Amino acid sequence: MEKLRWGFIGAGGIAKRALYPAISKSSYGEIYAVASRDRDKAYTISPTGLIYTSYEELLADPKVEAVYISLPNAFHLPWAIKAMRAGKHVLCEKPLGMNAAEVREAIAVSKETGKLFVEASWNRWHPRSQRIQELVAADKIGKVERIRSAFTYDGLDDGNIRLDPKIGGGILYDLGPYSTVAPLWIMGFPPVQDLKAQVVWHKSGVDETTRLNYTVAGAKAETVASSNIQLSHWLIIEGSKGSIRTGGNDSFNSHNNPSSLITEVKGKTKIEHFEACDPYQLMSDAFARRVRGKKDWVMPLEESLRFAELFDAGFAAMGRP
């Protein structure tokens, strides 16, 4: 198939580390243009050298078919809507919006324009994540009773944009799309009940450690996301007949490294090994093929909306200032 011509809006760290190498290796897409306020940054991820210092100019380029948005969180929704109205398909970094109302607005624009709009929750494309869903759906560990998940790191300085409330900072928006939402996709997105929150606020006003506990389809979900706890990952699913857990310390960030999954049922342990892969490439390739009319899986917008609704409930339970 003809390669999808991508335009990047934003040239920050995630674009350079993740989507730039993913699309550069792809047989289904190419980076046609990059728009950034910083021309020097843009040149580092624009193989063709086509640079715009105005996002509007990139959107006006008729050769750009799809855009990848990696701006600070608060700017995701407005530029996604502008891009779709300009006739572009959109792959947008998580979160899609600052609340569920914004996500609903973007979904309406996607339907109105007929443009593909997908949240770049790359971990969902990882074969291990998909295998977890398969095992739970197949009742391999019986009725799920408890899910424990965590994604934490320590090391943000006070000037980091993740700590700036004016541009959508906070750990729930940063790591919540991994650990906090995992019980939702594992259980197939039933309604959330009995949500409780514990939070540590940063002096800037954003959450730096958030624990959300809730019930989903009868299972107790215990989740942690933090930017002030030593790097740690876990994902443990406990059922009436056994358990599933990710091996190693990479439950939500296995990228270009081998990974494993451990299932224990009635005293018998099975370890599944997954070859190193680039889930960002799996995601961007699926997106490109979908634009070209193929039937590849991309994360439905309805799932992004359920994530946003969970975050809204979490912030309400925290009493966000």
Q: Is 82 a catalytic residue?
A: no
Output the CA angle 309-312-314, nearest 5 degrees: 110
| Residue 195 Cα distances to 51, 198, 212, 273, 315, angstroms | 46, 10, 7, 34, 11
Domain residue spans of the chain: 4-122+282-296, 127-276
Number of H helices, E strands in the chain: 11, 14
Place domain 4-122+282-296 in its CATH homologous superfamily: NAD(P)-binding Rossmann-like Domain (3.40.50.720)
Distance of alpha carbon 156 from alpha carbon 176, whole angstroms: 16
**CATH 3.40.50.720 is held by the domain 127-276:** no
Number of CB atoms found within 10 A of residue 141's CB: 21
Q: Catalytic: which of 82, 88, 94, 115?
A: 94
Each residue's pLDDT, cut to its tens digit, for the chain (321 residues) gives 899 999 999 999 899 999 999 999 999 999 999 999 988 889 889 877 799 999 999 999 999 999 999 999 999 999 999 999 999 999 999 999 999 999 999 999 999 999 999 999 999 999 999 999 999 999 999 999 999 999 999 988 888 889 999 999 999 999 999 999 999 999 999 999 999 999 999 999 999 999 999 999 999 999 999 999 999 999 999 999 999 999 999 999 999 999 999 999 999 999 999 999 999 999 999 999 999 999 999 999 999 999 999 999 999 999 975
- pTM beyond 0.85: the answer is yes
Spatial contact of 78 and 24, defined as CB atoms under 8 Å apart: no
